[in-house]
Every structure is written in C-alpha cells, then in structure tokens.
Structure 1
Amino acid sequence: MGAMKTPGVYIVEKNAFPNSVVEVATAVPAFIGHTQIADNRNKPLSMKPWRISSMAEYHQYFGFAPFPRFNIVEKTDPSALAAFRVAGKDYVMEQLPGKDGGNYQLYSALRHFFQNGGGPCYIVSVGSYAEDLDLDRFKLGIEELLKEQEPTMLVIPEAVKFKAPDCIDLQQAMLAHCGDKMRNRIAILDIWGGDKPRNDPAGDPVANFRNALGINFLDFATAYYPWLNTTVVGDKDLSYENIATPDLLMQLLRADLGLPDTLPDDASPKAKDCHTAIADIAKDWAAADPALSESAITNSKALLNKTLVSISSLFNTILGEVKYQLNLLPPSAAMAGIYTMVDNTRGVWKAPANVSLSGVISPSVSISAVDQEELNVTTQGKSINAIRSFIGEGVLVWGARTLDGNSLDWRYINVRRTMIMLEESCRLAAKALVFEPNVANTWVTIRSMIQNFLTSIWKRGGLAGAVPDDAFSVHVGLGETMTPDDILEGILRVTVLVAMVRPAEFIEITFQQQMQKS
C-alpha cells in the first residue's frame, strides 16, 4: 500500500494460501491427414490445427469419408488369397492407389477413435481427397503443431499408406517433434505392414520397423501390433459404384448366374429381371432421364444395389471383400481413444492395458503368449505392445511399454505420460512467479504450491507411497538447490522428487505343499 500520511485506520489484505496448480489435460490427440474439405465458414483450415470434440464437428469443418474404388483383378500371385472364384478363375480386389481409389484413412481412424472413448482432439488437414499423399506436407503439418500447447498425443494414421522408407521418415519426424522440440506429448506409431504375420515371405514387419526406426527419443513413443479387423465401414457404406471395373463386374455376375449376354425372348421373368439389374450397373442415370432429380437418382441407385444384393451371392462376396479391406485399420487411432477413456475413468497414471477395444472383430494376426515374449522384451529395447484376442474376453490391449523398453525410468507409457502431466501443470503454474523476488517468501510459495498439487495427485492414487512424504518431496532454496551465483544470474531452481506408479506387468503366485497338520 502507499505511504500513510493521513491519520486513520488502514486495512491490509494478505493472501493466506499459495497459488494453485491446475492439472493440464492429458488426452488430447492431434491427428494429421487428408480430409474432404477444410473450411470454417469460408475461412480455410488447410494446414491449420483445429480443435473438435465429435464427429459432428468433424463433418462440419472437414466433410465426410472418401469414396474408395476397387478393381477386380484376376489373381496372378500364387501366394495371394483369392477373394472369389468364377468359371474356374480366381480373382482378387485391389484398391486403386492414391486419389483415384480414395485411399485415405483419417476419416475411418477418427470414427474408430470416438468409438473407443475419444474426446477433444486436433485435426490438421494436409490436403483434400483430390490430392495424392505428399510426405513434405505431412512434415509441414507436424511443424504446425509447434504452435499448439494443448495436444498430448500425435497420431498419423495415413503414415502406413506411404512406402516403407517414407513411413519411417515420417515417424522419425514425429519422434523428433515429441521428444526434442515439444517434450509434452507422445507419438503413437503404427507398424508398416502390421497386418501381416511375422513369418510373412516379404519379411518380418516388426523386425523391419525396429531396424529402421533408429534410437532417438524412443521414450516419447509407443507402438502396437498387429492391425485390427474393425467394423467402422458397414454394408450401407458400400455399393456397386465402389467397383471401378463395371464391365467385368457385369460379366462375372452373368457367369455366376448363368445368364447369356443376350437373353432369348422366351426367358423367364426372373432371368429378365436379373439381366436388367446387371445391365443397369453401368447406367448413367442422369443421362438416361435428365428430368430425374438428385434424390431420385440416389434412390434409383440404392434400389439397384438392393436388387443386386438379393439376386447374387457373388455380388455380396465382392462387397464383403471390399468391406474387409477398408476395415483393416492400424491401431494408433483406437489406442488414442483408449488412452482418453482410461485417463477419464482411472487417471493418466493407470496403464492403458488390459482394456478391451470397441468396434474390433479380431486382430489381423493371432498372437500367443510365446509370440509376445520377443515383442515385449528385446535386447534392443524396442518393445512392441501386443493386441490379443482372449476367449470369453474379446480383443484386449496386452502391453503398456514405450519403445524405450530397456529404460527403468521410461519403460512404461503411463509413467512417461504422468510425468508429462506433472511437469506441464507445474510449469504453467510457476509462470505466475516469473520475475518475482528470488527470496525466501517466493521459495515458500512455490514449494507450498507444488506440494499441495502433488498431495492431491497422491490422494487419487497417482503417486506411490503410504504417506505424502514417501510419495514426493519438493526442494528449493539457497544452499539446497541454488548457489549465490544462481541468484545473481536470476535463476530459481526447484527440485521435485516423485515416486511414480508402475504397473504390475508380471504377477507371480507361488504354491507349495505343506505337511498335513490334522
């Protein structure tokens, strides 16, 4: 208060309590990929991180799903599995590459994220469905996230759409962003070719991933194997229009139903209906009847698709193969949803493991306990978390390690994420004391502030210890954390020791016989 010059009574208020530390959000992923649009009321959102909290908001700002297109191709690779057989010939379904085939994965990944408990997240649109995948634009999208402090996870589902070397290049950029530049978020990586078994003739996808990734910033990343057979894309999302070879489709359907190219006049009514439906596959509805409205054309196509479904089992098989391929997704987006769900229900210190995945039929590769041994513990330390199917329990996440599996400090992903939360919460709270006098009063304030925060975390089970003194300690002061030179240089040093909660990854129960006593 100012100098007292006039006689009277003066009131002085003093704060009795230190500032509080507010716990930062722990589950806010940032997704990078291609979207249909990127627009906010005619303001472009391309290459701009934008926060959403639901698929409805995603539709508003970024549009809807891409339109995938598949070719029917006669099988030439003896090792490939045939999708179906007609007239003694085997055929496979191949999605057209890039923009021609709508080969983008962000939309499906977002749907799977929200299915598994996802919440608020950031979207960085690096291009539309009319553009091919560009590695440099994805890296530029990562750089744009330097401006955002809230995201705590980085996920790029479309990284596996690049060739293997480019995928690793992009994932190394993700590691550098999380572990070097920001240090307040983790990267959830997908294994290129993770839909294939480890004994695949083309090579072991896990070994290739480990060999190529390098050793930098592994404690800021985690990876999961294998990919997942999901239910994101349903039957209603597909039709005959997803087949890019309508002429071959018509030919195969006629052969399957035993219909000639030209029907005789005395053909049965059913044969005529089938022949007409098949011939309508390549029909240009707008050209056939310019008076038809857009809704009428849509209804006509829907009716034709229902007709083909009802008359041909082969058509159902073809669409089933298309749906299977579109539903084969890498697990990173679903895991971001699992992290969010576990954080909201248990806390960031709970390992995101032994949790079931939603919207998943099965892992693409079945993993046994023996198979997981080398995934979980390796001499190189690059632990890969397994996703396994258990009888009567469904598909479970069965691992909680970072890629730095040999580090006793940062082996577990919940330890790294809890430490990020503690560090960011204390850092943001301590900003209020920047430029305050570097004296005992300030030291007591900052010590009390951090102690109160850590006590609340300990009470919720976030720190290990029977009493607070066993769980943490805060040190600050001259002769304790600072020297006189530190004070002269304007440095206030605080040391915080915390006992982190680690998961019981291995439980051993010992049984031994004893002598009969009665």
Structure 2
Amino acid sequence: MAQTQKIPGIYIEEKNAFPNAVVEVATAVPAFIGYTEKALHNGKSLLNRPTRITSLSDYMAFFGAGFHPTFKLESPQGGDNRKLMLGAAEMAIKFAPHNQLIFFDSIRLFYANGGGTCYIVSVGTYEGKDSLEIQKDQLLGQGKDEKGNPIDGGLRSLEKEQEPTMVVIPEAVLLGEDCYEVYREVLAHCSQMQNRIGIFDLFDGFKNKGGDDPIDLFRVSIGTDFLSYGTAYYPWLHTTIVQQGKLSFKNLDPEIDLESILPEPKAKKLLREFPKDEAHFRTVFQKKQPHISQSAEVDFDDFLNSKKDELHKGLLATSPTYTSILEEMRGKMNLLPAAAALAGIYTMVDNTVGVWKSPANVSLNAVIRPAVEISQEAQEDLNVHISGKSINAIRTFAGIGTLVWGARTLDGNSLDWRYINVRRTVLMFEQSIKLALEAYVFEPNESNTWTSVKSMIVNFLTNKWKQGALAGASPEEAFDVQIGLGVTMTGLDVLEGRMLVSVKLAIVKPAEFIVLTFEQQMQKP
C-alpha cells in the first residue's frame, strides 16, 4: 500500500518481484518403535515420546544399549537348521522365553546402511530386567496405564509428528502372527497421515517356502486396504552387527551344566575349580582380602566379574566346543529382519540422488548373506503375484554381494502406485506444495493470487524436472499446473471460498525389466 504523502520529499516503496517458493520437505526420516534399555533425558522420561536423534551416539545417550539375552540348549526341532554336537547328543541354541529383543541392533543396522536423522519411540524399558515380553498394544499405543487411562504412545504418538516419512517396527515380528495386525494399523496410519509409508518384514522371514510358508501367510494376513502405503522385504539377514567377544557363559541359562557338556579335560578342570555360588565366592574373596568390610559391595562385584572374565578367557583358550557355542549364540543374535537396513538404504539413496530414485540394486552393509537364497525362478512369485501383493527380494549375486532386488509397494497390481519411488515422490510433492500453499489461506480468491500460486508451483516443479524427478524432454511434457475461473473453478467454487489447483505429474518409473532383442541380418557386400 502506498505511503500517505503529506510532506514534500522522496518516498521509497518495495515490491516483491518473485512469488513465494516451494521448499522440498524431508523424505528420509524414519520413525522406529520398540523397546529400549532406558528412556531418559535430563531426568525426564522419554517413554512414548517421539524423540528426534541424528546419530547412534544420540540414541545411546537417550536410550542406552542392547539387551543381554539368555540362551538355552534344547533338542533340535524340524525348523532348526543349525545344530551342535555336544558329546553324543545334537543340541540347538535357542533364546530363553521373552529374551529376544532386537531394537538396538536394528538401529545399528540402520546406521550401518546410511541412516541419519530419525525418530525413536520407546514403548518400554528393560534396564535391570532378565526378560521382557513384547506387547502389541504397547507398540500401537492402544493399551491403558495403571490408572486405566489410554496410553498415548507407540504408533499413536506419531500422529502428532509431521516430519517422519517412514514407520518401522523391527520387533513386531517377535509377536508371531499378531505382527500382521500391527502392520494393518501401520498402513491405516500412513494413509491417514498421507506423508509416510510403512516398511515391513515377514514373520519367520528366515525360513524357506515350505509347509508353513511365511510368504503366503504374509499375503493372507496383511489385508487389502491402503496397500500402496507399505512395502515388504524378504528374507531376513545374517549380519555382523554383534561382534565377537560380546557374549560369554554368562549369557547361558544358569541351569546349563557346562562341565558335563564340554568334552575338553582342561575346560572341565577350570569349571570344576570355579566357585559354584556367591557364598563360595565371598569365602574366596575374604581369604584374598581378610580386612575388607562387609559393606564393600563394589569391590566384591569387581572381584566377581574379574573372576568370570578369567574363566571365560580360559574356556576360550582350552575349549573349541565352548567357542562354537558362543558363535551359535552370536549367529542367533545376528539374524535380523531387514526393514531397519532398508530404512538406511532409503535415506542413503534420497540423500545422494533423490526420492525419485528406486531404492534397489543397492548393496547392503554389515550383512553376510540373506537367510534364504532366492533363485531367479523363486523371485517370480515374489515380485509378480496374482494378489498384487509384491514382496521385494534381497538376493546374493556372485562377485557382487547382497543386493536389494525389488522396488515395489504392496499394491503391485496398481499402475499408479506399483513402485516405491513413485509413491514416495508423489508424497513429497504433495506435502511440499501443501505446506507452501498454507501462506495463501484466506488470501483473496482472485486472479492475482492464482497467478502467484501457479508461478510458485511451476518454478518448484521445473527445478525438480531439471534434477531428474520428472519424465519428459521439456517442462511442458513433465508436468501441468492449472488454476483459475473457468479452468479449475466455477463461480460457485469462488463464492464458497474454494481455490482449486490441478497438478499433473509425469513421475519417473524404474526400468524394472530391460529386454534386449537380437536378430541376425544378411551379410552386406
């Protein structure tokens, strides 16, 4: 508005020469939901509070480290591929009940594969606990607290956060078949929020197709709603996340009699001479330090731990069988579902190329091999299925390594939403333009506003076309933006306060099938 000119002189008026700009929203911000060692920052609880972190060190400062599981030795069953010969008996290493928690190792797998900023939702802690049972209601935020009030946590707590663009619940697979109820809730949540997708694993995804086919079970159980907002990966992965030296006999069930199991005489002698209980330890401790006071618990704990470390090192040096048991335990802990690794892959691809690039044909870090080797023929049923519920394969290729070899959503029959990069690119465009248009709410619904809005969107889409996000030899082929009276709106729309904008996009689709055609021709003179 021109200044009121009452005094002779020179007056300056500034006019905006350019329209507002659309800023691309972040696309690589996963939200992880699970159980942590602690959930504390500056004395305040972080339970069921989505917390933004940028590194693994941030995670450990707020949420602690991993769970220390207990293992049992049992007779092998039909599904046990790996067995140990202990004396004349075959035995299998298994997690003790409610002792398999994989959230921390999944976060480490995420960062090993290019992860960055993410949100952590801790739904429970295991600090000081010997076991912890995973609860479906806690993951979803559908339970009640001790006073009977609804828990506003888990998946429900993410309804208040706009930044996350992926939802990953690594420990859902530990619920058994109930994990698919969790997945259906995640799909509904993503559809409601319209700015994120769910990345899923298969229950028993370390098993081959067989009597209890994990692939068929997934397709039957995942439902039919909101499938374009989810993607699934098979199989699980043998990783290197848990390093050697992290486990010892302290991770074995106390009821296991190692002396009767280990065949090596020197190892048996070490175990025979090792004090059997805490009272015996205290007697040895008092003999070594006769003047110690009864209140010196810290000194005794240090003594106890040092003696256990000495026994562990002695057993490693004298018993190959003991080493094999620890390696089997480590192998169990390193068998992890793939979703967290894929969240890292998505982040890496988005940051290096863009969300429009398919997160496929990319190698996985900290991974030895997939739990199941998938052949060319076996993947046909995974990638293209009559149900349309495509499952992306993770495969090993000779001389190359372990690659992500699929780029589809669960809505494989849809020509619009078949590919992950298409779904995620459209979400990026929708949210970016939506946030930019908030500045025009309550602006005059007339031609000047329409021109500004159109220019703003066209400039943004032109820049994205130049970056390769849209197909076409020119901007006119890549997108079309329409707004105006008689174009997208009627007079009634204007009277009722509706400003309608039409945006058409030519999204880049992946070259999923490359066909080479060869034929012979006559020799030319």
For structure 1, the 5+ residue unaligned runs are 260-270
State TM-score, norm by structure 2. 0.91
Report if aligned partners of 1:71, 1:245 keep a CA contact under 8 Å in 2: no
Report if aligned partners of 2:28, 2:350 keep a CA contact under 8 Å in 1: yes
Matched, 1:251 2:260: yes
Report if aligned partners of 1:246, 1:281 keep a CA contact under 8 Å in 2: no
Equivalences for 1:128-277 in 2 at 5 Å?
A: 128-129=125-126, 130=129, 131-140=132-141, 141-164=154-177, 166-179=178-191, 181-199=192-210, 201=211, 203-245=212-254, 247-253=256-262, 256-257=263-264, 259=265, 271=266, 275-277=269-271
The one-letter code matched in structure 2 to 1:93 is: I
The one-letter code matched in structure 1 to 2:368 is: I
Deviations 1:369-415 (A, max 9, x none): 10000100011100000000000000000000000001000000000
Report if aligned partners of 1:116, 1:358 keep a CA contact under 8 Å in 2: yes
SS of the counterpart of 2:402?
A: strand
Structure 1: distance between partners of 2:369 and 2:344: 17
The one-letter code matched in structure 1 to 2:524 is: K
2:145 corresponding residue in structure 1: none
Matched, 1:85 2:85: yes
Question: Structure 1 residues 369-378 or 299-308, which shifts more?
Answer: 299-308
How many pairs does the alignment contain?
495
2:369 corresponding residue in structure 1: 362
1:340–1:79 Cα change, 3 Å: closer
TM-fit CA distance, 1:286: 6.4
Match of 2:353 among 334, 337, 346: 346
Deviations 1:211-269 (A, max 9, x none): 1111100000000011101111111211111101454222101xx11x4xxxxxxxxxx
Structure 2: distance between partners of 1:344 and 1:78: 44
TM-fit CA distance, 1:294: 4.7
SS of the counterpart of 1:516?
A: coil
2:107 corresponding residue in structure 1: 110
Equivalences for 1:29-48 in 2 at 5 Å?
A: 29-48=30-49
Report if aligned partners of 1:229, 1:360 keep a CA contact under 8 Å in 2: yes
Report if aligned partners of 1:343, 1:350 keep a CA contact under 8 Å in 2: yes
The one-letter code matched in structure 1 to 2:331 is: Y
Structure 2: distance between partners of 1:380 and 1:442: 46
Equivalences for 1:463-482 in 2 at 5 Å?
A: 463-482=470-489
Deviations 1:478-514 (A, max 9, x none): 1111111111111111111110000000001111111
Equivalences for 1:429-444 in 2 at 5 Å?
A: 429-444=436-451
Runs of 4+ in 1 over 6 A off after TM superposition: none
Structure 2: distance between partners of 1:431 and 1:300: 66
Deviations 1:449-490 (A, max 9, x none): 111111111111111011111111111111111111111111
Question: Structure 1 residues 308-317 or 84-93, which shifts more?
Answer: 84-93
1:472–1:78 Cα change, 3 Å: closer
1:266 corresponding residue in structure 2: none
TM-fit CA distance, 1:297: 4.2
Matched, 1:331 2:338: yes
Question: Structure 1 residues 241-250 or 406-415, which shifts more?
Answer: 241-250
TM-fit CA distance, 1:191: 0.6
Match of 1:300 among 296, 301, 307: 307
TM-fit CA distance, 1:86: 2.4
SS of the counterpart of 2:228?
A: helix
State TM-score, norm by structure 1. 0.92
Deviations 1:33-64 (A, max 9, x none): 00000001110000000001111111100011
Question: Structure 1 residues 303-312 or 392-401, which shifts more?
Answer: 303-312
1:281–1:135 Cα change, 3 Å: farther
Equivalences for 1:301-450 in 2 at 5 Å?
A: 301-450=308-457
